[in-house]
């Protein structure tokens, strides 16, 4: 009983830290430090990377993963997983190429179709997870396979068709300047807009409820929030973000059979690297975005070092395990801390336990 | 506890960098001669293949390069029936009257656009023979790149006992050998095409000249069209796949004997985004004058990386995939479209027809394999004008009744 009381008082610890503190809460300062370190190393190895046009090229490459990380953040912070985003990105690009088939007048209708499809996939993921009580790990793993197979079934094994230039500009083009020179990529604008919206959303009641649901869904539902709908909305957001990422990736590099492969684990790695706790309830969206940037920067660094690209899965695996392990450590410490200040409570708790061994 | 976190993170990163340091240490000391290219140094470890690796067999390399010059036997307008230096085998033992045959085909997969294109061509050829009444049933198993599945697929054909011929496109060479040998022992004619097996029990093994010739076509083109000292970037799909390793081994051999500098060999998984990112990074570090690719997937992304970086087009080795050929025409760059003859998918069906008729077929049926060069580009683009971008120009199905709808509506 006493422990419940002390836990209830915990929020008192939180109120109104400075903006900077809040931004870096949840251990996310590490990811910014790491991001800085990786960038410094890249600059040292290759000074030309610091040129604005090189940085913008990096942004174009990294933008889709950052956006996927935002979507994955919503799902992970609510206590679930979305493994279907990689397949969804691939499916979206292939659908776009096949339906559009290079016809300019179809650019916008197909974009709308893609957003609709992304939301539909998110809705199915969400409802199956929340209403049918299938663990999201299984739901989205199933969705990943369904999309992977369905797309190959539909296209006969390999993608067909073509994307229009108008469609591709979002991932490839930019404004203020000539192609080939310095340009502000549309991808950067999209990332900034979505990032700001995500931060604002997390500060609204929905964001707070999402966080609370991830922390303790029983408590959240007792306090009156519709847990199923909160989590379903997280999946909807993830589906939407995957669609935007698909538009940018398709634009960046065009359509190939491999597009989207492995992105779900990249996104999860990025979010975890940003200090967001698997299982939900902790972490900031800005740190998740920084995690995505760090991961892309790390891979860029590996290229600069001349490492084979086959090292990437190894690195991702190490990051996931290390980050989760180190996120688990402070939790134990934190739980102990509130128990220490009221010594009487600790004593009370200890005493009744003490006799048990002696009796035995 | 924060320092503890940082420690763990630091340790993880340090481990990464340590492994990084180990790998970068190997390729350091520069060649003392100076005349050699840096290909050996940049590849470093044995695991990256190349001309010094187990993937390079001098005799095969010499034979394939020589076969490119040989005039093939057979009708020139039907390259899928031509054969280079054939040694014919008698097939009288398999001759059988009548039609309504059951033709069984164990396919490795249709997991890439090249195989999809060939698979359509094969089905169209089968339809022709079905109209003629020669083939009754065309029974197909797709192993989806799974060796175990393909082994059981072939066993199922053998056990069914009613296949009048078995065609196999093996997913891997060594693993599928026993299954193919078992099929041979069943007494049915067996036809193997594309990748081979370590056996000669089949009636005929159909394949284009091969990977060494493919890699050499591109590498020689780069050597001929670049100034000495130019920098070449090699983009590869995956390590450890024999057909792809042979392509790189031949190119590595040719580059190492030239005065070109190979600035890097990178594995891309055929992913356009990875290709574009890698090429962009190389361009940030310095100029790249030539691109060699072990397969054309994503070639357009590599070209676009030059456009987006504002750099002049490189001398480029792509494939006969339509998206690349169209990009080549639009940009008018100096390029070559290497070809791994897609029309080989027709040949096994026609070989079965010949075998049932008791006609002799080559025991190793080497099909011609010639790259598309600049002067032929327009002709191939015209001939394939309606085709989708992931179609292969030398698919060899123009005279089949389903042309062009079967290939355009895929």
Q: Higher confidence at residue A250 or residue B270?
A: A250
List Cα–Cα distances, A293 to A35, A36, A82, A290, A299, in angstroms.
Answer: 7, 10, 20, 5, 10
Q: Is B131 exposed, middle or buried (0-12, 13-18, 19+ CB in 10 A)?
A: exposed
CB contact under 8 A, A253 and B276: yes
> Does the pLDDT of residue B39 top 50, yes or no?
no
CB contact under 8 A, A48 and B9: no
CB contact under 8 A, A307 and B281: no
Q: Count CB pairs under 8 A between chains A and B.
A: 173
State how beta strands B88-89 and B361-362 pair. Answer: antiparallel
> Does the pLDDT of residue B217 top 90, yes or no?
yes
> Does the pLDDT of residue B206 top 90, yes or no?
yes
Residues of B in contact with A156 (CB under 8 A): 110, 116, 119-120, 410
Question: What is the CATH classification number for the domain harbouring A283?
Answer: 1.10.3470
Residues of B in contact with A330 (CB under 8 A): 1-2, 4-5
User: pTM of the predicted model, to two decimals?
Assistant: 0.78
Residues of B in contact with A300 (CB under 8 A): 277, 281
CA separation for the pair B60, A13 (Å, rounded)? 74
Q: Is residue A338 part of a domain?
A: no
CB contact under 8 A, A57 and B5: no
ipTM over 0.85: no
> Does the pLDDT of residue B259 top 70, yes or no?
yes
Q: Higher confidence at residue A171 or residue B289?
A: B289
Respond yes or no on whether the N-terminal peptide bond of residue B404 is cis (omega within 30° of 0): yes
Q: Is residue A140 part of a domain?
A: yes
Interface check A156 vs B, CB under 8 A? yes
Average pLDDT value for residue range A334-359 = 42
In chain B, the domains with their CATH numbers are 38-68+208-340+370-394 (3.40.50.2300), 92-202 (3.40.50.2300)
Structure confidence by residue, pLDDT tens digits, A249-308: 999 988 877 788 889 988 999 998 888 888 888 889 999 999 999 999 988 888 888 777
Domain tally, chain A:
1
CA separation for the pair A273, A287 (Å, rounded)? 8
Q: Is residue A73 part of a domain?
A: yes
If pLDDT is split at 50, 70 and 90, which confidence band does B239 have? Answer: confident
Residues of A in contact with B301 (CB under 8 A): 253-254, 256
Q: Is residue A45 part of a domain?
A: no
Contacts of B43 by beta carbon, 8 Å cutoff, 6+ apart? B27, B49, B50, B252, B262, B265
Q: Is B150 exposed, middle or buried (0-12, 13-18, 19+ CB in 10 A)?
A: buried
Q: Is residue A308 part of a domain?
A: yes
CB contact under 8 A, B270 and A161: no
Q: Is residue A163 part of a domain?
A: yes
Q: Is residue A124 part of a domain?
A: yes
> What is the percentage of chain A residues whose pLDDT exceeds 70?
81
Q: Is residue A312 part of a domain?
A: yes
Domain residue limits at A191: 61-331
Contacts of A118 by beta carbon, 8 Å cutoff, 6+ apart? A88, A92, A239, A240, A242, A243, A246
What's the DSSP call for residue A158? S
Interface mutation vs chain A, best among B122, B123, B169, B281, most A CBs within 10 Å: B281
DSSP secondary structure string for all residues of B329-355: HHHT-SEEEE---GGGGTHHHHHHHHH
Average pLDDT value for residue range B324-342 = 93
CB contact under 8 A, A254 and B267: no
State the pLDDT at residue A17.
52
State the pLDDT at residue A347.
40
From the list A57, A157, A319, the residue facing B280 with the nearest CB is A57
Interface check A332 vs B, CB under 8 A? no
Structure confidence by residue, pLDDT tens digits, A310-328: 787 888 888 888 877 876 7
Residues of B in contact with A158 (CB under 8 A): 110-113, 115-116, 390
From the list B5, B109, B273, the residue facing A253 with the nearest CB is B273
Interface check A223 vs B, CB under 8 A? no
> Does the pLDDT of residue B163 top 80, yes or no?
yes
CB contact under 8 A, B389 and A180: no
> Does the pLDDT of residue A41 top 70, yes or no?
yes
In the structure encoding, which two tokens stand for residue A5, read together?
């009381």
């Amino acid at each position: 009983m006493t422990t419940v009381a002390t836990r209830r008082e915990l929020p008192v610890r939180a109120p109104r830290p400075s903006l900077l503190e809040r931004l870096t809460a949840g251990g996310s300062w590490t990811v910014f430090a790491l991001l800085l370190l990786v960038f410094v190393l890249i600059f040292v190895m290759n000074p030309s990377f610091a040129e604005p046009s090189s940085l913008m090229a990096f942004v174009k490459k990294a933008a889709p993963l950052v956006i996927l990380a935002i979507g994955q953040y919503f799902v992970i912070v609510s206590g679930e997983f979305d493994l279907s985003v990689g397949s969804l990105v691939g499916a979206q690009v292939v659908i776009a190429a096949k339906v559009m088939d290079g016809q300019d007048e179809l650019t916008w209708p197909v974009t709308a179709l893609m957003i609709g499809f992304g939301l539909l996939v998110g809705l199915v993921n969400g409802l199956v997870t929340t209403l049918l009580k299938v663990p999201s790990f299984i739901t989205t793993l199933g969705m990943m396979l369904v999309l992977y197979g369905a797309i190959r079934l539909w296209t006969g094994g390999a993608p067909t068709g073509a994307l229009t230039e108008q469609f591709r500009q979002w991932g490839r083009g930019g404004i203020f300047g000539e192609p080939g020179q310095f340009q502000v990529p549309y991808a950067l604008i999209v990332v900034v807009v979505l990032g700001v919206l995500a931060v604002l959303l997390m500060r609204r009641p929905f964001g707070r409820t999402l966080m609370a649901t991830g922390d303790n869904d029983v408590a959240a539902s007792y306090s009156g929030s519709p847990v199923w709908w909160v989590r379903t909305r997280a999946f909807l957001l993830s589906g939407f973000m995957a669609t935007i990422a698909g538009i940018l990736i398709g634009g960046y590099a065009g359509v190939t059979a491999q597009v989207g492969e492995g992105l779900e684990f990249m996104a999860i790695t990025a979010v975890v690297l940003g200090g967001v706790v698997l299982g939900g309830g902790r972490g900031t969206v800005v740190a998740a975005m920084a995690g995505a940037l760090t991961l892309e920067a790390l891979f860029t660094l590996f290229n600069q070092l001349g490492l084979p690209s086959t090292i990437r899965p190894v690195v991702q695996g190490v990051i996931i395990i290390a980050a989760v392990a180190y996120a688990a450590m402070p939790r134990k410490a934190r739980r102990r801390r509130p128990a220490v200040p009221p010594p009487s409570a600790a004593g009370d708790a200890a005493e009744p336990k003490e006799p048990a061994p002696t009796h035995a | 506890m924060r320092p503890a976190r940082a420690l763990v993170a630091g340790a993880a990163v340090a481990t990464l960098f340590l492994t990084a340091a180990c790998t970068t240490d190997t390729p350091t000391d520069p060649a003392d001669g100076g005349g050699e290219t840096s290909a050996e140094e940049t590849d470093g470890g044995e695991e990256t293949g190349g001309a010094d690796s187990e993937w390079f067999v001098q005799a095969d390399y010499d034979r394939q390069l020589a076969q490119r010059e040989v005039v093939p036997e057979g009708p020139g307008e039907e390259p899928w029936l031509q054969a280079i230096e054939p040694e014919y085998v008698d097939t009288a033992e398999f001759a059988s009257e009548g039609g309504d045959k059951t033709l069984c085909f164990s396919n490795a997969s249709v997991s890439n656009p090249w195989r999809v294109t060939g698979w359509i061509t094969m089905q169209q050829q089968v339809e022709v023979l079905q109209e003629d009444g020669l083939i009754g049933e065309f029974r197909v198993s797709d192993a989806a790149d799974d060796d175990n599945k393909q082994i059981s697929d072939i066993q199922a054909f053998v056990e069914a006992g009613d296949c009048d011929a078995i065609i196999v496109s093996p997913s891997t060479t060594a693993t599928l050998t026993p299954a193919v040998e078992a099929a041979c022992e069943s007494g049915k004619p067996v036809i193997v095409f594309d990748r081979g097996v370590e056996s000669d029990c089949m009636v005929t093994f159909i394949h284009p000249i091969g990977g060494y010739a493919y890699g050499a076509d591109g590498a020689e083109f780069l050597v001929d069209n670049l100034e000495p000292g130019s920098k070449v970037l090699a983009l590869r799909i995956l390590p450890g796949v024999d057909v792809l390793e042979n392509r790189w081994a031949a190119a590595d051999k040719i580059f190492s004997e030239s005065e070109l500098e190979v600035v890097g060999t990178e594995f891309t998984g055929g992913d356009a985004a990875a290709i574009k990112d890698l090429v962009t990074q190389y361009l940030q570090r310095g100029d790249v004058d030539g691109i060699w690719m072990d397969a054309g997937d994503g070639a357009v992304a590599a070209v676009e990386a030059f456009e987006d970086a504002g750099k002049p087009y490189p001398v480029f080795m792509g494939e006969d995939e339509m998206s690349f050929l169209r990009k080549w025409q639009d940009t008018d760059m100096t390029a070559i479209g290497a070809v791994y003859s897609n029309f080989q998918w027709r040949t096994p069906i026609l070989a079965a027809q010949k075998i049932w008729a008791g006609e002799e077929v080559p025991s190793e049926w080497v099909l011609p394999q010639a790259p598309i060069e600049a002067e032929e580009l327009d002709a191939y683009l015209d001939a394939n004008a309606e085709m989708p971008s992931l179609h292969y120009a030398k698919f060899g199905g123009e005279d089949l009744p389903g042309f062009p709808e079967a290939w355009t509506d895929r």
